[in-house]
């Protein structure tokens, strides 16, 4: 089943306690299915609602996007510019191969951020090789049981 432009977003209902972070968590928006001119208005409204919630930024998950039009990328870039003026950020995570090709074809590489190959080239020569063979302990993420709840909001952009 191919969804026609559905999306949802999740935000933390509470900010991070003092001394444990920089404030509210970023808002994550998941896009699924096909996105084109027919879904752009609904996507704009959803992004505006997500931005108005005031998180530290916006993360767009494009993993389940089957098709994305240039007009939809324009909506995303406008949201990025709006957030940038408010000293917040918009980043894209897990783009599908279709979404990655569209973003690259439009020259919007800054939406994706640096890839692992670019990050490794930024390491000093003596650290680049050793980083691949080292073990780094990663702390477990905070659980919702610490008083944090999430709110899921879904919207179907199809008509």
Q: What is the pLDDT of residues 104-128, one digit of tens each?
A: 999 998 888 766 666 566 555 555 5
The Cα-based distances of 102 to 14, 29, 37, 110 in angstroms read: 35, 19, 15, 13
Indicate the average pLDDT of the chain: 74
Percent of the chain with pLDDT over 90: 35
**Alpha helix (H) residue ranges in the chain:** 37-52, 70-85, 97-105, 116-122, 125-132
User: Tokens 């000293």 belong to which residue?
Assistant: 87
Distance in Å from the first CA to the final CA of the chain: 16
- Mean per-residue pLDDT, 90-100: 92
CB 73 within 8 A of CB 110: no
How many Å separate Cα 140 from the centre of its chain? 21
- CB distance 82 to 51 below 8 Å: yes
CATH of span 6-132+147-156: 3.30.750.24
Q: How far apart are CA 12 and CA 14, in angstroms?
A: 5
* Helix residue ranges, H only, 4-69: 37-52
Rounded CA separation 127/106 (Å): 34
Q: What is the pTM of this model?
A: 0.64
């Amino acid at each position: 089943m191919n969804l026609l432009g559905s999306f949802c977003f999740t935000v933390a209902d509470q900010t991070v306690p003092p001394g444990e972070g920089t404030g509210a968590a970023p808002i994550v928006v998941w896009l699924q299915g096909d996105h084109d001119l027919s879904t752009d208005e609904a996507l704009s409204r959803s992004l505006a609602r997500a931005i108005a919630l005031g998180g530290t930024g916006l993360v767009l998950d494009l993993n389940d996007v089957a098709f994305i039009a240039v007009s939809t990328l324009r909506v995303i870039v406008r949201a990025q510019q709006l957030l940038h003026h408010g000293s917040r950020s918009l980043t894209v995570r897990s783009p599908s191969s279709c979404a990655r090709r569209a973003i690259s074809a439009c020259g919007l590489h800054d939406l994706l951020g640096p890839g692992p190959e670019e990050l490794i080239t930024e390491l000093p020569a003596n650290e680049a090789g050793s980083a691949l063979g080292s073990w780094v302990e990663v702390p477990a993420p905070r659980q919702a049981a610490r008083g944090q709840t999430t709110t899921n909001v879904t919207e179907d952009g199809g008509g």
